[in-house]
Structures are given as structure tokens and as C-alpha cells.
Structure 1
Amino acid sequence: MSTFQELGLNTDLINAINDLGFTQPSEVQQKAIPVLLEEERDLVALAQTGTGKTAAFGFPMLQKIDINSRTTQGLILSPTRELCLQITNELKLYGKYCNGLNVVAIYGGASITEQAKQVKRGAQIIVATPGRMKDMISRKLVDISKIQYSVLDEADEMLNMGFYEDITDILSHTPMDKSTWLFSATMPREVASIAKKFMYDPIEITVGNKNESTSQVSHEYYLVNGRDRYLALKRLADANPDIFSVIFCRTKRDTQRVAEKLVEDGYSAGALHGDLSQNQRDLVMKSFRNKQIQMLVATDVAARGIDVDDITHVINYQLPDEIETYTHRSGRTGRAGKTGVSMVIVAKSEVRKIKSIERIIKKEFQKKDIPSGMEICEVQLMSLANKVHNTEVSHEIDTYLNSINALFEDTDKDELIKKFFSVEFTRFFNYYKGAKDLAVTESGDSGGKSRSGDETRYFINVGRKDGYDWMKLKDFLKEILELGRDDVFKVDVKDSFSFFNTEKAIEEKVLSFFTDFKHNGRFVNVEITENKGGKRGGGKRRDRKRDGRRRDDKPRGERRSRRSNTLESKGDRRGRRSDSPKPRRSKSPSDRPRRSRRR
């Protein structure tokens, strides 16, 4: 079926489709719409983000409900506020000629009283986030006991966000004989469980293969040292002057930090994450849709509502914790028949994840090097030249031509061109002149660093008893010190203390940060250890004479570690003795910190 008319849609919907400029239905629409119009059946549709799933369930629901009734007949659950509002707005556009249609969005962050009033006026279709919907049901502000159609949109993402219990509770208030339509980009076990529990003999529609990425998107990865991740991001942006992108970070903190740094460096960027108010999120998305923001830095959850067709690039500043989430990320680009690029910035320790993602999306990544400074300068110069060449001439300046010509009458053509382009080009040239090469090879050390031995090992007085394993401690140190993930390595967690390494270049930053640093009301103490990989006596003895006297000659209250000004409690010292190697005179290598000998 090549047209919407052939799918069986009525005149009101066809008129709205023509107004929207839709010409041909997408594959998921061709497969889903006729089935949903002809039969009262449950349906499971697996299709990538950006393939037109909203229209695939929206058109059949609009055609089948009774517009003249004020009873709620359709319920659509979606994972985020942004997606909830997006679906609501699209349904209103699809139903613009359906006189009497009332579609209401129910989501957190807005007045629950106002939403209840809108429902009470008669909402044939409710689009809701699970949390707010459950709240309104418990307050008896909404009645879904007579709905005929329920839709679980982005079902995999809702379950990833922990909404399983909310969904099951909400659906328990709906009639058994309703039709349930489940739409998802991936099909993990949890989604299959929902389908089995709440659906009867569903028809399954798959566009492409399960979990497979769309063919409109190419996939690239760039290997860098962890500490160069932000520099790599800037180079990728500069190497693509017309970039209109979404940049994904794992945490809200990283999202805000990266966006702020981009703005400070002169890029048109903005942040989108869960700590923003609804008004702030609306303003950011409005700016992005109007292309006032060229680079939108977002968390995975917040980005679920981004529905912009012209996104050229998705940049994975950090890979997601769940590999399946990559499918959702890459689906932000290559929409509405356009092509797009999904870029991943990785350290060596993350390369194995690329292979795992390739198996899931059934697409191969192309390894590319971060562009050099001179390559970026060339791209920017030619981009500027093309803009000038394609610029439409404004005759408003005709009256000033005589003055301009007089100014340049002694300047030949080549020199004039050089002067003109130097105005913009010099800025890039000066920035990238002599810039280091960020490219890294996959051979050598797997941590993304040249472990030349010029590194520092530290003792820290937190361990397993404080709830840390090696990964949690590494993430904790990375976040509070604002380091790259691979700037902290060789993490070794004991019961009540731990050890970690950094390169020596950031030793002062680490030690100065932990001067009088408290976490959860407790002093966190960091000291340099003497782990040389050899005998204990191989390093300097910190209890020998300093400035003509022994350290032990200091008053008791002044006995501190070499670097830290924090004092440990007796319990901390006692815990360290019990967990540390017992004999100080042992010939075996030791990770014990440099401390004065107590007599």
C-alpha cells in the first residue's frame, strides 16, 4: 500500500494528513494501521525510534473512538513528560477535523488539579506518564474502567525506568476485553512478560529485525584517552560545521557540566535532564526545535521526548550502562527518510562494548580518528567559502558600494579574498595551531593511558563497609574530582580502606581536594602510599629526620599525614590496622600509606 487512502483511513484523517504534508506511510504504518482498523486484536509492534509509531496507533484510535461520547475510550502510556506531550500534540494535529475531540496529557511537574479539570470536561483519549496516572487513579480523579484501547508506547524504556509495577497497577483498572497495542524499539524479557500477562494472542509486527538499528544511520567510533573526551567532542563539532546534534551523557551532572563547558567555549548548546523544571525543559526544547541550540546535551530519560526530524548527528559522549539503550539513542537521527550519523567517543577499556552493540544492532561500526587541528581548519575554511558563495546578494548595501570600492581600490582580488576569509579563519587557526593529536591506537595498554610508571598510588579510608566496590569507588572519585573515567585506575577495595592510582600530573589536584573533605558527615582521608612494587625499604622513610629533627619529635597533636590535614577517628585507625598486613617489618611488597612510626 503506497498511500494513506489505501490503508482505509476516513476523510477527516486524510485531510489532516494532507495538511501535514505526509505523502507515503512508513513501513510500520503500512503493517499496523490496516490490522488495527479491521480487527479488534491485541498487537505487538517492534520498530526503531523515528519510524512513525505514533501515527501507526494514533490514526486507528482516532478513527475507532466515538467522538460524540465524553467517556474516556483510549489510554496511551509513555515513559516521559516530553514524549507524553509530543504524542498529545500529534494526536491533536491528526484529529484537527474530528470535531469534539479532546485529548488530554497527564504528567508530573504540572498542576494535577488542572489536569483533572480537563479530564472531567470529557477526554476521549488520555496520554499519560505512569507515575502521574497512578496518582490520579488513587485519588479517583480519572476513570479508565470503560476504555476500549490501551497503548504502551516505548514499552522497553518504561520498564527500564522501573515502571513495571505502575503499569500493572494501572492496567488492572481497565476492562479485560479492551484491545492492547504495545509498541517498542527492543524486545527484552520484561516487555515479553508484559505482553504475556496483559495481552491475548497478539499479532506481532516487526519492522527490520528485533533490536536492529535503522539503515538510515551510519555508526562510527573514535578512540581517545579518557581525559581527552571533551576535547574530542569539540573537534567533532568543529569538523562538522553544520552539525545539529544530540549529545548523550550517562548522568544529569555530566550532562549539565558538558553543556556549560560548551557554552563557555562559544558553542550554541543546552542541557536537558530530569533536574530541570517543566518550564525550563519546554524552553530548551523550543530553542532546539528552532535551531537556536545547535548541540543539545541530554540524558537518556530526558531525550525520550525529542522528536526532531533534522538531527544530523547523535554523539555518545559516554556509552549507556544498558547496551540496548544505544538503539534508542541512535534513533534520534536518520528520521523521516533522512540519513544520520551516530558517533561514539570511547576509551580503550570500552572498545569491547562496541563489539557487543554491533551484535545487538546488527550493524558494523567504522573506526575513525579524531580530526587533526589542520584538518578542522580546512573544513571550516571551505564551509565559510561555500556559505559566502551561496549567500543571496542583498541590494541594501548598493548605496555603500562606492565607499567600499574606494577603500579596496589598491587591493587585488587574491589579497581581498585572503583578508575577507582571515576574519573568521584566523580564530580557528590560532586555536588549533600546534594542537596535539588526540588519536589513540588500540594496541598497548587497555586503559587508554601510557602507563609509563609516572603515576601515584593513594590510600583512602573508605571501603566495602561503606558500600563501595571497585566500580562504585572509581565512579565516586571520577565525579567529585571531575576526572575522566580512565584517569582513575588500579582501584583495589578492602573492607575499611582502599587504594587507587592516578597519573602523577594530577597528584596535587587529588591531594588538595581531599584536604578537610567530608562525605556524609565523615572526613575522607587520602594519602600517598609507598607501593613501588618492591621491598618496603626501597622507598623513602617518612619517619626519618626532617629539617634536623625526627618527625616523632613533633607534639602529638601535630602528627598528621604528609599531605592530608584531616584527622581520622580512632575507629578508622583501628579498622585500618585490622585490615592491613600485620608485620611492618615484612619483606613483601606493601600498599600501606606513608605514615610516621608510632612508638
Structure 2
Amino acid sequence: MTKFEALGLEKSLLDAITDMGFDTPSEVQEKSIPLLLSDEIDLVALAQTGTGKTAAFGFPLIQKIDHSSRTTQGLILSPTRELCLQITNEMQLYSKYVKGLNIVAVYGGASITEQARQIKRGAQIIVATPGRMKDMIGRGIIDISKIDYCVLDEADEMLNMGFYEDIKDILSNTPESKSTWLFSATMPKEVASIAKKFMHKPAEITVGSKNSGVDTVQHEYYTVGGRDRYPALKRLADANPGIFSVVFCRTKRDTQKVAEKLIEDGYNAGALHGDLSQNQRDLVMNAFRKKQIQMLVATDVAARGIDVDDITHVINYQLPDEIETYTHRSGRTGRAGKSGISMVIVTRSELRKIGAIEKKIQQKFISKKIPTGIEICEIQLYHLANRIRNTKINEEVNNYLPAIHDVLEGLDREELIQKIVSVEFTRFFNYYNRSKDLNTTDGDRGNRKEKDFQSDSGSVRYFINIGERDGYDWMSLKDFLKDTLSLGKEDLYKVDVKDSFAFFNADSQYKDFILETFTDFKVKGRFINVEVSDNPGGGRKRRRDKDSRRSNNKYGEKSRGKGRKKDSNFSKGSGGSRRSASSGRRSKKRDGFY
């Protein structure tokens, strides 16, 4: 018996699950599905975005619907057109082996006549946005007076968007005998009010803690001057060459302005906000899903319903007014079992908001420094070197090699490498050379005792020659180091994972122990090299060992030498190897080794 079969699902659904490649239900699915199948109850389920909520209510709803009747029996309300379409598509995949079941999406920005025609043909399940749904009820196009099930998906998002009155009006047209299933990431008072007014003694399921963030997301904040937000944003992007991100702004105007500046500076960026036409929104989102856009700058409302699992970073260019909104922002990354990073750019006057968010999401923020220009140059240099090393040779170039050899005649290997790398590196160096430090002091938060907030005095920064290509992210690399060094998680911090290398910090008391542990340390025959970096923020300083002639270069190549050999079982990080965001990316005009 499969794990999904044990939940009580019918064969038609199990066959669809097999086709989609699902093998293990998520926690919210394990808790919700048996409960909803066993009885006619009301349910409040609190779980973060990206935890599989659609299947948690979708499977039971499809199984309970009488598909032989054309009467509308189920209504799913969602906050945005994108999420409405996404839920509809997923529900259609779940029900591919259920004959006669018709699921119709009802949303604004599309022909109401066509949607009315689909409803008239018979729709057992309607997936709708509140505004269009209320409109169609008012016109007498949809009758929900006999529905058996009503699902409120992303309930807190709908209420944040001002749909409270619409939802009350819609629910007032439904029978009291129906079952109501409310799914939400957080439980603000407005959601509790809906539950109290329209639900009868609902069962409650909580995945994680109420209103808390997911533990696959690392939260960081960077303190800068008010005029340095945009330069700080660029540096964060340049310090993470594989970044695939959503950048959040508070207003439509700021969103458009930041996106335009990024595009002018050569980044693959796009804007997503309410002033765009539906066609423009579709074009932007399609480009983002294909990773032709590297940095999607969005307002909170426009970003609702974004369902992309590979987002590496969420960048809060400006903090939102509501803490619940931050929870939804950070939930765009760290999805489907992968890890992610949520970065916040703040001024000193906004630091108190960080503490308020920490209390709400029950997670600590890490105070980090904006990378210096030279640190960015170094990171990009390693990134470029690995791109060159891993580039597949195009055989068509052979026709031009004789002439190229003539042009490059007289250059030795070392000089040729220097020149090739300098073609790209010089552009970054010229831009960042003598660039100012964007960091400001953290004010009263600097006295906090937690490791993640401590100053760099008494802390040592290390370089290690493994990264994302080896299957590591910040979370799994931290676990690898913890297990290898037999240290606690609190003893290792500020873990920054790049494409083929990474940095981490530990207290200075562990310096000799860490360097000794990683002397001639091998994993599946490959030397894992750890060196002390030049500065606390990143970069590295080569460690010379008189007793060992063996050295391991920054690209993971090994050379022979003497010394005690250590080995370890090499297992990839739990997050898996993240796909590079450079695929489909246009080359930068100025800065970026893309």
C-alpha cells in the first residue's frame, strides 16, 4: 500500500498521483486528507505557502463530488487570477481519470461571456476570485445555493487585499449545511472573524507554529543609508551570481522605477504590478517561469499567486506595512523541500521592525554586511572560472583555431588565462574599485547575544571549495560542517553558498581545530579544502602548510602530497543541486559574468 493510498484516496486519484510523480504526501496533506474524507466537517488549516495545500483540499473535494450530477457542488475562492488558474490546472490534473467532472475557473480580466458559457454546460467545481464571483452571482449566472463544499484558499491574502465584504456576501448565498474548509498561512483577526461567523466548531490543523515562517528559509537583514537601497540591491545580486529572485517594493511606482533601473544596468529584470494589462502580466510571468527574467520586481498584491519552486532569494527592497505580508513574501522561496534566503534591506530607523517580525515568525534574523566591491569581484572571478571550466566545447570553433593561434602566438598558459579572465573581470573591477562601504551600524541591535547577530571580532571567516554544484545549499552545508566537526549549529553561522564554493563563520577558538580537521580531508577521493578568508565578509587568504605539499586549488582540483589522509561518506545536501538561474539569461551589459 502506498502512502497516498493509506490516506483513503480512490484509484482514479492514485493513478493521477502516480502520473504526476508524487510519492510522499506533505505534512498538511497527511493531516487534512483523512480528516476531510472521514466526515462532513468544517476545517481551519494553517500552513505556509508551498506546502502542498492545493492537493490537501483538492483530493478530498474531487473524491466527494458527485460527478454524475451537473449541479455546482464545490466552490474554491482564491485571491488572484494567477492562483485561480493554478488551482484549476492542478485540480484538472488530479481528476484526469474521473469521467464527467468539469472544473471551471472564474476570474476578472477575461471574457465573462465565455466563463458563463462554461458554467451553463455544468460545472461541479468552480474556482473563482471574489470580485468576479460576486459579479456573476449578481447577474444570476452562478447558483451556489446548493453547494456542499466551500474552500477559502489563502484566506489571509484575500482579506489583506480587501475582499472581506465580498467574501461575506458570497458566503451569504451558500447553504448553512455546507462544509467550509479554510486554508491560510497566518491567522489574523479578520480570518478568525470569518471562521467564527461562517463555520461551525471547525477542526484545526497547524503545520509548524501559528503565523511562523518555514524553517527552510534563512532570514537576513542589511542595514544601509536611505539613499543606498538601490546600490545595495545591485551588490546583493552581484554577490549571488546564480540568483533567481523576487524583489518586493511597497508601491507600483517604486516597483516600476527599480525594475527600469535594473534593466538599464544590464540585469535581466521585469516589473509586476497592478498598472500592467493582463497580457503584460502574462508575458512577464511566462518569462520569469522560463528564467529569462532573473529579478522580478513586484508589489505584494501583484505577486500573490506566484507559484515557482526554484526561487533562490526573496529581497525585501522595502519592508511591508503588515508583518503577515512579510510571511507571505518569504514563503515565495524555500518551497517544495528546497532552501531559500529572504533578505531585507533596512535603514537604522526600521530596525525595530526586524524584532517585531522575529517575534511573529518565531525565527531569528542574521545581521549581514553588504559585500564590498572587492568581495564581489572575487566571487564573480570564481564564478567565471568555473563557467569556463564547465563550458561544453563547440566543435564549430575548430575551423577558426589556426587563425586564433596566430593571433595569440607568444602568450604562455599563465598569461593567456590572465587575459581571458581579465576580459570580464576588469569590467567589475573598474566599476567597484574604490567603491564606498554601504553598511551602517546596527544601532541597539548590535548588543544582541545570539551568534547570528554577533560582531566579527572573535569570529573567523572560512572559504571551502564545495558549493551548489555539489548539491549543497546553506542548510545542508551547515549540517555537513556540523557533523564533520562535531560542533553545534550555533557554532557555525553566516553560511553563504555559491556555485562551486562557499563561506562560513565560526568562533576563533575553533580555528586550529577546523583547519586541522580539513587538512588532507577527502570525500569520495576528492580533497575538501578549507582556508581562512582575508576578511570577515568573504574572500579568502591561502593557508600555507609547511608539513604538506598537497594543495587543493579553488576549483576543486587535487594534487598529490604527503600527510594523514581522512575520508568521509559523501552525500549531497538535502536541498539538491539548484538549477542555475543563468539558463536563458541574456548577457549583462556591464556587470555580471553571465
Same fold (TM over 0.5): yes
Total equivalences in the alignment: 446
Amino acid of the structure 1 residue aligned with 2:193: S
State the distance in 2 between where 1:244 and 1:440 align. Answer: 27
Structure-1 residue corresponding to 2:175: 175
State the distance in 1 between where 2:397 and 2:124 align. Answer: 57
Structure-1 residue corresponding to 2:97: 97
Contact residue 348 and residue 443 of structure 2 kept, 8 A: no
State the distance in 1 between where 2:59 and 2:156 align. Answer: 22
* Helix, strand or coil at the partner of 2:262: helix
The 5 A counterparts of 1:5-84 are 5-84=5-84
Structure-1 residue corresponding to 2:485: none
* Helix, strand or coil at the partner of 1:122: coil
- Deviation (angstroms), 1:391: 2.0
Structure-2 residue corresponding to 1:292: 292
Contact residue 225 and residue 440 of structure 2 kept, 8 A: yes
Structure-1 residue corresponding to 2:250: 250
State the distance in 1 between where 2:445 and 2:38 align. Answer: 60
Amino acid of the structure 2 residue aligned with 1:146: K
- Deviation (angstroms), 1:365: 0.2
Contact residue 73 and residue 146 of structure 1 kept, 8 A: yes
Structure-2 residue corresponding to 1:226: 226
* Structure 1: runs of 5+ lacking an equivalent: 447-599
Structure-1 residue corresponding to 2:496: none
* Helix, strand or coil at the partner of 2:323: coil
Contact residue 82 and residue 302 of structure 1 kept, 8 A: no
Amino acid of the structure 2 residue aligned with 1:286: N
State the distance in 2 between where 1:198 and 1:371 align. Answer: 51
Structure-2 residue corresponding to 1:392: 392
Q: 1:10 to 1:404 in 2, by over 3 A?
A: farther
Contact residue 249 and residue 318 of structure 1 kept, 8 A: yes
* Helix, strand or coil at the partner of 1:241: coil
1:187 and 2:187 correspond: yes
Contact residue 381 and residue 425 of structure 1 kept, 8 A: yes
* Helix, strand or coil at the partner of 1:123: coil
State the distance in 2 between where 1:153 and 1:145 align. Answer: 20
Structure-1 residue corresponding to 2:135: 135
- Deviation (angstroms), 1:444: 9.2
1:115 and 2:110 correspond: no
The 5 A counterparts of 1:261-272 are 261-272=261-272
Contact residue 2 and residue 25 of structure 1 kept, 8 A: no
State the distance in 2 between where 1:329 and 1:203 align. Answer: 27
State the distance in 2 between where 1:19 and 1:306 align. Answer: 24
State the distance in 2 between where 1:394 and 1:14 align. Answer: 45
State the distance in 2 between where 1:362 and 1:58 align. Answer: 30
Structure-1 residue corresponding to 2:590: none
* Helix, strand or coil at the partner of 1:324: helix
Contact residue 76 and residue 150 of structure 1 kept, 8 A: yes
State the distance in 2 between where 1:444 and 1:168 align. Answer: 45
Contact residue 103 and residue 126 of structure 1 kept, 8 A: yes
The 5 A counterparts of 1:263-282 are 263-282=263-282
State the distance in 2 between where 1:11 and 1:281 align. Answer: 38
Structure-1 residue corresponding to 2:463: none
* Helix, strand or coil at the partner of 2:367: strand
The 5 A counterparts of 1:364-443 are 364-443=364-443
State the distance in 2 between where 1:48 and 1:445 align. Answer: 28
Amino acid of the structure 1 residue aligned with 2:7: L
Structure-1 residue corresponding to 2:147: 147
State the distance in 2 between where 1:357 and 1:417 align. Answer: 48
Structure-1 residue corresponding to 2:348: 348
Instruction: Give deviations 1:93-132, integer Å, cap 9, x for gaps.
Output: 2222223322111111111111111111111111111111
State the distance in 2 between where 1:14 and 1:266 align. Answer: 47
- Deviation (angstroms), 1:35: 0.8
Structure-1 residue corresponding to 2:360: 360
Instruction: Give deviations 1:133-176, integer Å, cap 9, x for gaps.
Output: 11110000111112111000111111112211111110111111
259-268 vs 107-116, greater mean Cα deviation: 107-116
158-167 vs 437-446, greater mean Cα deviation: 437-446
1:203 and 2:203 correspond: yes
CA RMSD of aligned residues (A): 1.6
- Deviation (angstroms), 1:5: 2.1
Contact residue 33 and residue 60 of structure 1 kept, 8 A: yes
Structure-2 residue corresponding to 1:458: none
State the distance in 2 between where 1:407 and 1:193 align. Answer: 76
For normalisation by structure 1, the TM-score amounts to 0.73
Q: Which has the larger radius of gyration?
A: 1
Contact residue 219 and residue 366 of structure 1 kept, 8 A: yes
Amino acid of the structure 2 residue aligned with 1:139: R
The 5 A counterparts of 1:310-325 are 310-325=310-325
Structure-2 residue corresponding to 1:338: 338
Contact residue 273 and residue 302 of structure 1 kept, 8 A: yes
* Helix, strand or coil at the partner of 1:367: strand
Contact residue 233 and residue 317 of structure 2 kept, 8 A: yes
Superposition misfits of 4+ residues, deviation over 4 angstroms: none
Amino acid of the structure 1 residue aligned with 2:185: A
- Deviation (angstroms), 1:418: 1.2
Contact residue 222 and residue 345 of structure 1 kept, 8 A: yes
The 5 A counterparts of 1:454-493 are none
* Helix, strand or coil at the partner of 2:175: coil
44-53 vs 6-15, greater mean Cα deviation: 6-15
State the distance in 2 between where 1:421 and 1:18 align. Answer: 48
Identical aligned pairs, as a percentage? 74
Amino acid of the structure 2 residue aligned with 1:82: E
- Deviation (angstroms), 1:394: 2.8
State the distance in 1 between where 2:193 and 2:269 align. Answer: 40
Contact residue 147 and residue 178 of structure 2 kept, 8 A: yes
State the distance in 2 between where 1:399 and 1:127 align. Answer: 58
State the distance in 1 between where 2:155 and 2:203 align. Answer: 16
State the distance in 1 between where 2:334 and 2:430 align. Answer: 35
- Deviation (angstroms), 1:206: 0.2
Instruction: Give deviations 1:360-396, integer Å, cap 9, x for gaps.
Output: 0000000001000110111111111111212223333
Amino acid of the structure 2 residue aligned with 1:439: N
Structure-1 residue corresponding to 2:158: 158
- Deviation (angstroms), 1:10: 1.8
- Deviation (angstroms), 1:445: 13
1:328 and 2:349 correspond: no
State the distance in 1 between where 2:383 and 2:296 align. Answer: 22
State the distance in 2 between where 1:220 and 1:2 align. Answer: 40
Amino acid of the structure 2 residue aligned with 1:134: K
* Helix, strand or coil at the partner of 1:176: coil
Q: 1:75 to 1:297 in 2, by over 3 A?
A: same
Contact residue 213 and residue 363 of structure 2 kept, 8 A: yes
Contact residue 221 and residue 366 of structure 2 kept, 8 A: yes
Instruction: Give deviations 1:393-433, integer Å, cap 9, x for gaps.
Output: 33333333333333323111111111111221111111111
State the distance in 2 between where 1:439 and 1:331 align. Answer: 27
Amino acid of the structure 2 residue aligned with 1:241: P
Amino acid of the structure 2 residue aligned with 1:16: A
- Deviation (angstroms), 1:74: 0.8
